[in-house]
Amino acid sequence: MSGAAAVSDLTYLQSVVIGALQGVTELFPVSSLGHSVLVPAWLGGDWKHLVTESSTATSEQSPYLAFIVALHVATAIALLGFYWRNWVAIIKALWQVARTRTVQTSTERLGVLLVVATIPVGITGLALEHPLRTLFAKPLAAAIFLTVNGVILGGGELLRRRAAISKTQSTDPAPGTHRRPAAQTGRSLDTLRPAEAGLIGLFQTLALLAGISRSGITMVGGLLRGLDHEDAAKFSFLLATPIIFAAGVLKLPSLAGSAGAHIHGQVLVGFLTAGICAYLTVRFLTRYFTTRTLTPFAVYCLAAGGLSIAHFA
């Protein structure tokens, strides 16, 4: 398909739909990359070329990829907007750590944990993002990995629950006192060690595979280290912010070049749609995970992935 044909096929309707899809699924633990592959493939027709463009050796010049870059930047800006107070405090804390070479406050510790956790996915992303997208950003592969994502989410919940129950049973309460439910137990975020943060960051490298959720795999990593759902979600969203933003900024030249020519209107519409949807999504999820779990998302991924495997196999 020629570049001109691809450009003319990127409509405003597609920009709104894909923008909303990106804004929601980047933060919901269901994989934005997997859905950006599967949804156009399911719709077929004029949508199908969006998938084929993003999974070829020449995809760096794809208008669709340039469009997706803009959506990632919009998502990162939405996260920055939601957590701006946290980020101001974290940046000040990191400056203090660099100046004093000591970690004294919980905010300084959180900043160090985020830096450590960013290193594995940053290195892996720079080296392998394009080869992995070219190899695996295809409907059947995305369907398989979406199913695997469901297994990871469900397995993480099961392992965490077993660990919490075991811990609760090992500490018998005094007679007449109320035992705290296992589902409500968890470590505080500022008790994580740097090695544990690095392990969680290593988990996030799996999100380079279409169908594996960045937020989902990071949350599972946090849950397996004993965090509760609220803190695991917060760490996931904070960790995602610089990674998504950096990935978008590094590829912005493609949007300014020939790949982005003649689609500036579609990019603007998609950008605004993605940013608004991402902000509303993170606002919803931060409340959702105060009392609820990853289980509904695991069920969804297993069902959607299984149906997609049957359809595209």
- Do 298 and 157 touch, CB atoms closer than 8 A? yes
Q: pLDDT at position 210, please? A: 84
Q: Confidence band (pLDDT; 50, 70, 90) for 5? A: very low
Q: pLDDT at position 8, please? A: 44
Residue 187: φ, ψ to 5°:
-75, 155
CA-wise closest residue to 115 among 85, 100, 84, 93: 93
**Which segment of 48-62, 74-88, 157-171, 236-250 scores lowest on mean pLDDT?**
48-62
pLDDT tops 50 at residue 167: yes
Residue bearing the bigger pLDDT, 256 or 266: 266
Q: How much of the chain, in percent, has pLDDT values that exceed 70?
A: 80
Q: Is 44 helix (H, G, I), strand (E, B) or coil?
A: coil
Residue bearing the bigger pLDDT, 26 or 184: 26
Q: pLDDT at position 129, please? A: 66
Q: d(Cα 242, Cα 245) in Å, to the nearest integer?
A: 5
Q: Return the percent helix, strand and coil in the chain, to nearest 5.
A: 80, 0, 20
**Which segment of 30-39, 51-60, 229-238, 300-309 scores lowest on mean pLDDT?**
51-60
Residue 247 tokens, joined? 């990935």
Q: Which residues are CB-neighbours of 178 under 8 A, at least 6 positions away? A: none
Q: d(Cα 47, Cα 45) in Å, to the nearest integer?
A: 5
Q: Confidence band (pLDDT; 50, 70, 90) for 3? A: very low
pLDDT tops 90 at residue 51: no
Classify 140 in phi/psi space as left (phi over 0), alpha (psi -120 to 50) or beta. Answer: alpha
**Which segment of 216-230, 247-261, 281-295 scores lowest on mean pLDDT?**
247-261
Classify 31 in phi/psi space as left (phi over 0), alpha (psi -120 to 50) or beta. Answer: left
Q: pLDDT at position 161, please? A: 86
Residue bearing the bigger pLDDT, 57 or 211: 211
Q: Confidence band (pLDDT; 50, 70, 90) for 170? A: low
Residue 284 tokens, joined? 């919803």
Exposure string for 61-81, b = 16+ CB within 10 A, e = fewer: ebbbbbbbbbbbbbbbbbbee
Highest-confidence segment of 2-6, 29-33, 132-136, 248-252:
29-33
**Which segment of 3-17, 208-222, 257-271 scores lowest on mean pLDDT?**
3-17
For the chain, give the mean pLDDT.
83
Residue bearing the bigger pLDDT, 214 or 167: 214
CA-wise closest residue to 255 among 2, 60, 40: 60
pLDDT tops 90 at residue 25: yes
Note the pTM of the prediction, 2 decimals: 0.85
Q: Is 257 helix (H, G, I), strand (E, B) or coil?
A: coil
> Letter for the amino acid at 25?
T
